[in-house]
Amino acid sequence: MSATRVSTGIPGLDSILHGGFIKGTNILVLGGTGTGKTIFCTQYLYNGATIYNEPGVFVTFEERPKELRLEAKQFNWDLRALEEKNKLVIIDAASSKASIPSDEAYAIHRDLDMNILAQEIYRATRKVDAQRVAIDSLSAIGIKFEDSTAIRTSIYKLSTLLRELNVTSVMTSEMPYESGQTSRFGVEEYVAQGVIMLYLREEDGELRRSLVAQKLRASSHSLRRYPFEVSSRGITVMPGGGL
């Protein structure tokens, strides 16, 4: 029996992934700044709720919820309307990081504590019966920890919680291009069941976007690079890619 697939809500991506993400798994989206990680998360949750009637939870560490709602508007994604219909919860983990008080219903009010974060995710997931969760980004969690063992433990805990909640989740992380590491802590890709890498590179004097989807433990020679674009409709992966 083949695994149930969850549509990514990103045109062109499902077919690359043989129908979408495997239901209940935890996918890591890696990329540098400006590669489209936040848009990816927002589109996954917005289209998930509006097209597939799968409510979602967005844990935002980088942008405050009001910034996220504003940015989503340029793609005609009305996050507020989804929140009012109990199709989306945004957990504000960004304000406390910036030492700004949060007036959001779901927020981490003090210094980031993994147990409190886990409780908020649990509460939010139960509230809307979420099928999808996005965490943007894990890199932000690293700021609070000095030693890499604590970071690994935290990421592992988070990933285990997400699987226990039986949601299909996306976690983002910055990817340093310069070093040999493929992710910031060198651990995220081991706790995730799939990795999508987003690239923004100069080719022939033009900035081009592309993505590589990597199934864990799959042979590396099966990896292909697909061009994608960001437009007023969000991310669209080009058909016939695979350069």
Ligand X SMILES: Nc1ncnc2c1ncn2[C@@H]1O[C@H](COP(=O)(O)OP(=O)(O)O)[C@@H](O)[C@H]1O
Q: Which residues bind ligand X (CB under 6 A)?
A: 31, 33-39, 74, 230-232
Nearest residue (CB) to ligand X, 86 versus 177: 177
Residue 188, SS3 per DSSP: helix
Instruction: Select the binding partner of residue 179 from ligand X, Mg ion, none (C-beta < 5 to 8 A, by kind).
Output: none
Q: In whole angstroms, what is the distance from residue 172 CA to residue 195 CA?
A: 10
Tokens in use for 84?
A: 């009012």
**Is 38 an interacting residue with respect to Mg ion (CB under 5 A)?**
yes
Pairing of β 132-136 and β 56-60: parallel
Tokens in use for 37?
A: 């990680």
CA dihedral 183, 187, 189, 193 (to 10 degrees): -160
**Is 43 an interacting residue with respect to Mg ion (CB under 5 A)?**
no
Shortest reach from residue 148's CB to ligand X, in Å: 23
Shortest reach from residue 1's CB to ligand X, in Å: 35
Check: CB of residue 45 under 8 Å from CB of residue 52: no
Instruction: Select the binding partner of residue 239 from Mg ion, ligand X, none (C-beta < 5 to 8 A, by kind).
Output: none
Q: In whole angstroms, what is the distance from residue 184 CA to residue 212 CA?
A: 17
**Is 159 an interacting residue with respect to Mg ion (CB under 5 A)?**
no
Nearest residue (CB) to ligand X, 74 versus 149: 74
Instruction: Select the binding partner of residue 168 from ligand X, Mg ion, none (C-beta < 5 to 8 A, by kind).
Output: none
Nearest residue (CB) to ligand X, 67 versus 129: 67
Instruction: Select the binding partner of residue 181 from ligand X, Mg ion, none (C-beta < 5 to 8 A, by kind).
Output: none
Q: In whole angstroms, what is the distance from residue 22 CA to residue 36 CA?
A: 22
Q: What is the DSSP string of 151-180?
A: HHHHHHHHHHHHHHTT-EEEEEE---SSSS
Nearest residue (CB) to Mg ion, 62 versus 92: 62
Shortest reach from residue 8's CB to Mg ion, in Å: 17
Binding site for Mg ion (CB under 5 A): 37-38, 62
